[in-house]
Amino acid sequence: MGALGDLPQSICTLVQRCGVIPDGEALAAATSARLVSQRELFILRDEALDALERLRRDGFRIGVLSDCTIELAENWPTLPLAPLVDAVDLSCREGRRKPDPELFSKVAQELETPTSGCLYVGDGGGDEPTGATRQGMTAVMLRAGDWATNDAHAREDCWPGPFFSTLSHVVSAACDPSLITS
């Protein structure tokens, strides 16, 4: 849960800060509209489900660590990738954001894997490659075709470590770590 509470509590607090006291009907309508609008943003890469399914077939456990708003947490069970993920740590629930070391350690613990046994893949937002590396994980950046136009908070644009342009390359590297080079 975020610092302002669940989604209705968050909306209520923000509206009150603007000097308005919402009634129950207005709050319900705003909550519903926000969930619908955010759900439209949860678009997976075309290869995402296939990549996760391949990793699962190969025996890998999968974790998600995301800096996000409460909408992702509330929509998580409805997303098609949810059944393929073993551990989910969302900043809005944890009360901290990447690169907080405890987040990386927590997801590894939930995966029952030492941090040194984790391959961390991200777009670089939240200083995540450096944060993951500091915790002993092998970090790679996903620099897909839309990377330059995607806006990510505190992204490590100049991170010198390894990167891949597709999730298929990430799957290959997970299966053969020798493919991960800087």
* Number of domains into which the chain is organized: 2
- Among residues of the chain, what percentage have pLDDT more than 70? 98
In a domain, 1, yes or no: no
Find the domain containing 132 and state its range.
Answer: 48-179
Task: Check residue 182 and give its pLDDT.
Answer: 66
Both 101 and 135 in one domain: the answer is yes
Task: Check residue 27 and give its pLDDT.
Answer: 93
Residue 101, C-beta contacts closer than 8 angstroms, at least 6 positions apart: 131, 134, 135
Residue 59, C-beta contacts closer than 8 angstroms, at least 6 positions apart: none
Both 165 and 124 in one domain: the answer is yes
Enumerate the β-bridge partners of residue 110. none
**Average pLDDT of the residues of the chain:** 91
Both 134 and 106 in one domain: the answer is yes
Question: Which range in 4-8, 89-93, 110-114 is most confidently predicted, on average pLDDT?
Answer: 110-114
Both 34 and 63 in one domain: the answer is no
Cite the DSSP H helix spans in 60-100.
70-75, 91-94
Both 27 and 58 in one domain: the answer is no
Query: Under a CB-based contact definition with an 8 Å cutoff, are residues 7 and 70 in contact?
Result: yes
Task: Check residue 42 and give its pLDDT.
Answer: 82
Q: Any idea which of 5-14, 53-62, 111-120 has the lowest mean pLDDT?
A: 5-14
Cite the DSSP H helix spans in the chain.
7-17, 24-39, 48-57, 70-75, 91-94, 101-110, 128-134, 167-175
pLDDT in tens, 25-57: 999 999 889 888 887 778 888 999 999 999 999
